[in-house]
Amino acid sequence: MMTAAPIFVCKSSDVLDVGKGVRFPVVAFGGETTGFVVRYRGIVYAYLNRCAHVPIELDWAEGEFFESSGLYLMCSTHGAIYAPESGRCEGGPCRGGKLRPISVSEIDGEIFWLSDTCVTPVNA
């Protein structure tokens, strides 16, 4: 089921390049969980907050998704690293796996996401 209207996440200024990400509530795979947005090289990306190796949240503290170099997103539990622009696992136990992308856009200084058949709003 597609949601016609984009769903507000945060102001664009809340997501700095390779800085903290912003989590938002979603329903995926039959349960409530979170998605997240990050900015990498000026572009905003969104993913389901679930490691491709084991279905656990990635961030080691709320919104902390990048590893120390700022080049990769990292799973805090197993150290899997992901390319921010594709979600592809570049190293660790999930090599060849991929984060589940969520459609995201920036409109007039705000960030929005769109639901799809697998990821929907909590109160849909």
Higher per-residue pLDDT: 89 or 1: 89
Condensed to tens digits (0 to 9), the pLDDT of residues 10-63 reads 999 999 999 999 999 999 988 999 999 999 999 999 999 999 988 899 998 999
Structural domain boundaries enclosing 84: 7-120
Residue 115 lies in a domain: yes
Q: What is the pTM of this model?
A: 0.93
Q: Taking all residues of the chain, what is their mean pLDDT, rounded to a whole number? A: 93
CATH number of the domain within which 53 lies: 2.102.10.10
Residue 1 lies in a domain: no
Number of domains in the chain: 1
DSSP letters, the chain, are ---SS-EEEEEGGGS-BTS--EEEEEEETTEEEEEEEEEETTEEEEEES--SSSSS---SSTT--B-TTSSSEE-TTT--EE-TTT-BEEESTTTT-B--B-EEEEETTEEEEE--SSEE-TT-
Quickly state the pLDDT bin for 95 (edges 50, 70, 90).
Answer: confident
